[in-house]
Amino acid sequence: MSGTAIITGGGSGLGQATALRLAKDGINIAIVDVNEKGGNETVEMVKELGPDAIFIKADVSKSEDVKNYVDQTLAHFGSIEYFFNNAGISGSGKYFMETEIKEIEQIVGINLMGALYGVRYVAEAMLKNGGGSIVNTASSAGVIGQDSVVTYSATKHGIVGLTKSMVAEYAKDGLRVNAIAPGPTETPMVKAFYEANPEMKANATAGIPQKRLGTAEEVAELVAFLLTSKAQYINGEVISIDGGFTNVK
């Protein structure tokens, strides 16, 4: 397998795990993150597996940064076949009426606007080249309502709408757009959230039929499947990977 993937939030967690999984298939990677240290670490790990990789620093809430990471990827690799639209933040875990407006704006800017900008510029490049495959990161909170994450949940429901509506417009042109909806997963973002809200981890684990959190590597396997040619007739789907969490609510 060959081609180039852009992965946002590639400096850690799901993004890093997916970069390594795709690298095993020979796919070149553009790692996008605001965290230079983590992003460059992922690049080195990908290169050790054989493919080429570059790091591009970006704040995805800024449209000019998003356009820049697309332009830099095209300049270096020549094309974009795959896009894991993954960058996101969870927020403080406060109830909505206690959440500062600044935090609401930050979550919406990164999780929703960043995803919209990413699809806008990446899909433009893909469509000029006959199509491509995009996987957006939604969440279990984008499939059901959950307390303590109202703004986050709203953005992830938005990701679901973005995924389905892009397919309605552009599937005929060779674009595939799917989304994953992970439940609580062992990533740095989730770990930090639970450290700030320790009672929520026990509640979350108790509510998962498999009685454990998911792993980044398990999610990466799903993303790799959806991105590549093995999933050519899967389009517009939102696939939960949550140990049964959303099925028992």
User: Would you please indicate which residues are annotated as catalytic (active-site) residues?
Assistant: 152
Q: For 77, phi and psi rounded to 5 degrees?
A: -105, -20
- Give the DSSP letter string of 177-212: EEEEEE-SEESHHHHHHHHHSHHHHHHHHHTSTTSS
Q: What are 21's two structure tokens?
A: 């999984």
Cα separation, 136 vs 118, in Å, equals 10
* CA nearest to 136, candidates 157, 109, 150, 105: 157
Contacts of 155 (CB under 8 A, 6+ apart): 88, 107, 108, 111, 112, 115, 142
